[in-house]
Structure 1
Amino acid sequence: MNIGSDFVTHDHVEIGNDVMISSSVSFIGNDHSFDELGMTIQDQKLLPRALVRLEGDNLIGFGTIILGNVTIGQGTIVGAGSLVTRDLPPNTVCVGRPARPIRNRAEK
């Protein structure tokens, strides 16, 4: 596993084998509840910590932000500057805000 500088996590993390995380990557999980309109967000309870799961053989590009409870499938690459808001399937290249698969790694 390789992790670049300025990596930040506020989540529980499970990292498989052979994962590379570039610099300036953040795993940001659940924060405060905000459903009680008669109460300030600051006064509402903290939500349980999220889980980010990297199944292995992943590359997470520079400046990527991963939100909440997500799994990034085995062999998946996440392009620089992406915002991951949901699970990403195995062996795909995913980019964007929000991150979406753009191709399977097996395609030439």
Structure 2
Amino acid sequence: MKCWPSSITIAFADKATERHLEHMLEFITLMMDIMPKAIYVESQLCDRFEKFRLSEHLICESGKRYNKTLQDFRSWCNNKAKAAISGRAIQLPSHSTKEKHAARPFQR
């Protein structure tokens, strides 16, 4: 299983619109809330089928990756907050109303 670096997820956040950034951050936060539960359920399934070593391995390795990803996300958020407080925050692009309507061509 390939582990994606968390920096890929938020590397383009400065180029996203405020609305898209809000959705991305909500999604990331939701996934970070769900991951420990998913890791636990997966390890319990391995235990149920008597794959005890796999269960232990999942808990150890997934826990390490989760903690690293959580720390990276925390650092990124803290850096963005510090930049905003110090006045170095990047201005997020916003869509004009013309672009908003062009993005939904099939809506009636």
Q: State the TM bucket, normalised to the shorter chain.
A: under 0.3
Structure (1 or 2) with the larger CA radius of gyration = 2
Bigger share in helix: 2
TM-score, normalization by structure 2: 0.23
Bigger share in strand: 1
Higher relative contact order, structure no. (Cα contacts within 8 Å, ≥ 6 residues apart) = 2
TM-score, normalization by structure 1: 0.23
